[in-house]
Chain A
Amino acid sequence: MIVAERKPLGEIVEFIEGFRRVLVIGCGGCATVCLAGGETETKIVGSALRIAARKAGRQQDVLEDCVMRQCEPEFVEAVPGRVRDENIDAVLSLACGVGVNFLAERSGDVPVFPGLNTKFLGATAEPGVWVEMCAGCGNCVLHLTGGICPVARCSKSILNGPCGGSNDGKCEISPDVDCGWELIIRRMERLGTLDRLVEIVDPRDWSSSPHGGPRRVVREDLRQLAAEAEEEKATTA
């Protein structure tokens, strides 16, 4: 999932203090799963903002909503209408950065503020702890490294690791961070594939990563199907 964490309340208050009617909008996707911006958190943030406004003697209405996913057109299509009809001046999105972008593009002249800091692609390691496991680099090498990602889990994204900074299974940057290469080596040892690490991995092509510029995935087959469905609808109408 995309793991996110709520911004400090003080920072959020600064974003919205100049606006009369604010809509806080949660997301039922990843932000819910990582307990940062789901329905429950939306209510908590809404209440906190109302308290903050009253304490500061500000006239401010804070409304709440939560959509299934802020990154899909069908789930957010009702939002612009609500913003217009209910005279909303500002939107606070409790989705990841994708949701903020997606709403912002659809919100006309109403600003959309981020309520969360989007952290990484990760998993729940234990209750209350999430760890990064994928860098979204666009060209998966997990088949070479026993399913453990050197790009995301090595602090230097080294493809021929480990570097000299591995200490007792931990990374040189912190004793709280596992050395990704220690994990890779132990995993491959268990799989009986350690000998594959003798092969030198060549410099990789990072053009599939954010370094190649903003990315998009195009599935022509699906576009074709959608176009056909559109056409059919038009003919039957």
Chain B
Amino acid sequence: MKSGSNLERVLAAGHFAVTAEIGPPMDCNGEVVTEKARLLRGYADAFNITDCQTAVVRMSSIASAVLVMREGLEPIAQMTCRDRNRIAIQADILGAAALGVRNCLCIAGDHQSFGAAGKLKGHPGAKNVYDVDSIQLVAILKGLRDEGRQQGGDEIEQTPPLWIGAVWTPMGDPVDFRPWRLAKKVAAGADFIQTQGIYDMELFRQQMKLARDMGLHEKTAILAGIIVPRNLGMLRYMDAAVAGVSVPQELMARMSAARKSAGDDKAQARRNQEEEGTKIAVELIEQARETAGVRGVHIQAIEWERKVPEIVERAGLLPRPTVTPEA
């Protein structure tokens, strides 16, 4: 075991893993995180704690991870390259490890101009860092853990037991290069991979085949990303505006039909779309599970975390396995 994290143990025991996402609030109300944690306890093997996603200031990923651990959940602290240089990153990672965090997901982070895609003000005038990129970050964590060496070369005594994750956008442009970029992340030391949200399962399977041909599925644990669609507007937005996400016409039509079926009853239209979205998410999980080389799913129900238990249950992924640490 590299980290002994629950996620690592579940995957090592050959189970199909489930991770879900918890988004920290924009204020200092820890109760929000605690509430989400209570709601989700037992429904996934580990929980991503986002790091100022969409470049909006939120409660820190590591602080939120600690709140989540207090509720008995295992966090995956996300770490972006946008806001910290290599000094701050390593300091925070060592601190997180000291506090008991065992999983870290290395990401570049949305550019500060993003500001929740214009829905919030954000901080578009911020200065970004990007001292290292996500692949270099993976290698830095591996260096700390396996070689007991900081990036600058200084040796450390106690090494952080981390299960190192990275993200793959299989359908991102330029799509032909994506399997190669995954290969670089794996070569850098990514123990697990969570993919960008997938709706076009056919294209994902083509990309997975390329990844398998390169043997990447054996060197890392690939978890397919599932973004739970809540309504037609969200699907349309993701299809049009989110890089690396394309929504097949068929799914769009299903959601559209769900909305129309309620006629003028807006509340019913919302409920119908939420039910259709849940159904779509469950189907996508099942399809991901049938895809060779996929070893789990990463469920993102953005600001709709309470839906995760039902989705995991309907996908037949309960109860979550208990894999006790080696003696």
Contact = CB atoms under 8 A, between A and B. Distances in A.
A172 B174 contact: no
Interface string A158-202: 111111111111011110000101100110000000000110111
A206 interface: yes
Interface string A199-237: 011110010000000000000000000000000000000
A107 interface: no
B140 A185 contact: no
Contact of A167 (B86, B111, B139, B173): B173
A26 B108 CA distance: 42
Contacts of B172: 162, 164-167
A172 B111 contact: yes
Contacts of B183: 198
A201 B136 CA distance: 8
A198 B182 CA distance: 10
B313 interface: no
Contact of B130 (A157, A168, A182): A157
A162 B111 contact: no
Nearest to A168: B173
Given A158-B130, A162-B172, A172-B114, A203 B108 contact: no
Contacts of A185: 174, 177
B243 interface: yes
Given A172-B243, A182-B173, A200-B139, A164 B108 contact: yes
B184 A166 contact: no
A200 B183 CA distance: 10
A166 B130 contact: no
A156 B243 CA distance: 15
Contacts of A198: 180, 183-184
A156 B140 CA distance: 18
B244 A160 contact: no
B177 A156 contact: no
Nearest to B132: A203
Query: Which one of B130, B181, B243 has the highest number of Cβ atoms from chain A below 10 Å of its Cβ?
Result: B243
Interface residues of B, number: 34
Nearest to B167: A164
B246 to A, nearest CB: 10
Given A172-B243, A200-B139, A162 B133 contact: no
Contact of A164 (B82, B180, B244): B244
B289 to A, nearest CB: 23
Contacts of A182: 173-174
A152 to B, nearest CB: 13
B130 A160 contact: no
B244 A206 contact: no
B180 A203 contact: no
A135 B114 CA distance: 22
A203 B183 CA distance: 18
19 contacts: A155-B111, A156-B111, A156-B130, A160-B134, A160-B136, A160-B181, A161-B133, A164-B172, A164-B196, A165-B108, A165-B111, A166-B173, A169-B173, A172-B114, A173-B113, A185-B177, A198-B180, A200-B188, A203-B136
The 9 closest A-B pairs by CB, nearest first: A164-B169, A167-B243, A160-B135, A158-B133, A163-B108, A156-B130, A203-B136, A203-B132, A165-B243
Given A164-B167, A202-B139, 15 more contacts: A155-B113, A158-B108, A162-B177, A164-B172, A165-B244, A166-B172, A167-B173, A169-B173, A169-B174, A173-B111, A197-B177, A200-B136, A203-B132, A203-B136, A203-B140
